[in-house]
Amino acid sequence: MDMVNIKINGRDYSVPKNSTVLSAARSVGIQIPTLCYLKDINEIGACRICVVEVKGARSLVTSCVYPVNEGMEITTNSKKVNECRKMTLELLLSNHRKECLSCIRSGNCELQALCREYGVEDENAFDGAVTPTEIDDSAVHMVRDNSKCILCRRCVAACKNLQAVSVIGANSRGFNTHIGSAFEAKLAEVACIHCGQCINVCPTGALYEKDDTAKVFDAINDPTKHVIVQTAPSVRVGLGEEFGYPIGSVVTGQMVAALRRLGFDKVFDTNFSADLTIMEEATEFLDRYTNKGKLPLITSCSPGWVKFCEHYFPDFMDNLSSCKSPQGMFGATAKTFYAEKMGIDPKDIFSVSIMPCTAKKFEATRDQNAVEGYPDIDAALTVRELARMIKQQGIIFNELPDEEFDAPFGLGSGAGTIFGATGGVMEAALRTAAEVVTGQPLEKLDFMDVRGTQGIKQASYNLAGNEVRVAVASGLANAKKLLEMVRDGEIEVDFIEIMACPGGCVNGGGQPIQNANVRNKIDIRAERAAGLYKDDLNLPIRKSHENPDIKAVYDEFFGKPGSHKAHEILHTHYVKRDKYFN
């Protein structure tokens, strides 16, 4: 690697030749503050917080886009630099609705943290006109409050560069510039796929999920309701971050204990219905593969991906698995099999899901996701919403003992656990499909070729003399690239897993928000996924078809995977949508 010699704050360093000042400083342990910058996603030098002095330059330069060169002398913390950063923060506050005490991001706001760091005492240092407040709460999953927007454009970059959706951007010019959709359309009117990646990268409280916690508390306090809750696999490796645990910590037992203390009548594991999904999806794949059905089969567990397909790739809709997601399968099973088994009228069951995903809020509203007139899910909460409920009720999460999930939906396999990581659904399906086809137990359960956070992965496996070609994509920009290759005949595959969020559900739009400094330094996707794979290794059952609770639900209710009854309850259909409008 070519290196150059530079000075930073009077000390000599050797740094990679093609570095920016920002990355060079970070490589030698010097942190330059940022607001708009996100590594590999948004590198535009817009916010001016990262300015530094460079000897010989006529003015301060933005370190996130300014390249280093041989002999450069940089000062990152001079009086001039600090005063400039402070003034920039004061200017941002002059056009900012300052409701820090009640703001959803108070205590986890990057603007707030920088103001504290740079001693911004007078929040009205620059009084004057303020851009009118515009709140868009039209979408089912989120709210946009432009009165708290600092125009960093991170959300725009995430929507465009990560997800290839591009339904938001900077409208108007000058003082009137604001983030919105084309022609000032509401978010509910455009082809948003509800992934929530814009929320995860927002540095302030300008973007946040729709809060359904009051509706859940009302149900818990209603004596006529039997309130059950399910928790998705990746919630157990995300929730702990809200209570100070390291990224990727597995907090399953404490999570169950907290949910019981919140007042839920039963606490169940979505890992169970992830196993149920594998039974149905693997059966569907083997049927299509052996009977020359429509291939490649594409997974349908990610509601953001499904809506993306409906809008942008309608020619692949026949390739989508008809299986409901694990959230939907659980809800449908709860209001049929469970209701019958427990002698409860389905109308009295209030089914709650805790998900890492804001798109699950949209999925819960789909007309197709209901059985006998009852919605599969009555309320879908994000990990952040659950954390707020726990804190509001005074539950000391870190001191809770580990508790077990309730029967009959409390047992999930390791295959269900890894659903939360990109490649996990594919690996879980392969564990079952391989043993069904060969009739022999696998010598090795870990399909390493489909693991990892790469955007696109391909592999080929020999199952009883048959070559099965698989591909995995996460992040919809990668999904678009993969599907275009399939459409153009560049690659041939039989089975595809797609997850809307980069890295999978571990990086879902409803997971705890980590600030840019953490995101730029640590691969949170890999850290959380590692927690899931560790959990998988420690579980006594690691294959969906060996889960005794899954065997029981088929024996007692569905009959067999792919049965007529299973199709009526566990499967769904999709709708073709306009490319530009919802």
Radius of gyration of the chain measured on its C-alpha atoms: 25
* DSSP string for 48-93: -TTEEEETT-SS-EETTTPBP-TT-EEESS-HHHHHHHHHHHHHHH
Q: CB under 8 Å to 439, separation ≥6 — which residues?
A: none
3-state secondary structure of 469: strand
- Residue 209 and residue 397: Cα distance in Å, rounded? 23
- Residue the block writes with tokens 């009117």: 189
Q: What is the pLDDT of residue 534?
A: 96
- Residue 532 and residue 420: Cα distance in Å, rounded? 7
- Residue 303 and residue 536: Cα distance in Å, rounded? 24
- Residue 118 and residue 26: Cα distance in Å, rounded? 20
- Please state the separation of Cα 470 from the chain's center in Å: 23
pLDDT tens figures, 490-519:
999 999 999 999 999 999 999 999 999 999
- Return the H-helix or E-strand segment holding 157: helix 154-157
Q: What is the pLDDT of residue 69?
A: 95
Q: Please choose, from the candidates 477, 436, 471, the residue with its C-alpha nearest in 3D space to the C-alpha of residue 296.
A: 471
pLDDT band at 464 (very low <50, low <70, confident <90, very high): confident
Angle at alpha carbon of residue 237, lines to 155 and 216, rounded to 5°: 75
Amino acid at 15: V
Q: Please choose, from the candidates 212, 313, 315, 286, the residue with its C-alpha nearest in 3D space to the C-alpha of residue 439.
A: 286
Delineate the domains of the chain, giving CATH numbers in brackets.
3-77 (3.10.20.740), 95-209 (3.30.70.20), 214-570 (3.40.50.1780)
For residues 272-291, average pLDDT: 96
For residues 268-273, average pLDDT: 98
Mean pLDDT of the chain: 96
Q: Please state the φ and ψ torsions of residue 428, each to the nearest 5 degrees.
A: -60, -45
pTM score, whole prediction: 0.96
Q: What is the pLDDT of residue 581?
A: 83
* DSSP string for 235-246: GGGTGGGGGTPP
Is the pLDDT score of 580 beyond 90?
A: no
- Between β-strands 178-180 and 169-171, what pairing exists: parallel, antiparallel or unpaired? antiparallel
pLDDT tens figures, 131-150:
777 899 999 999 999 999 99
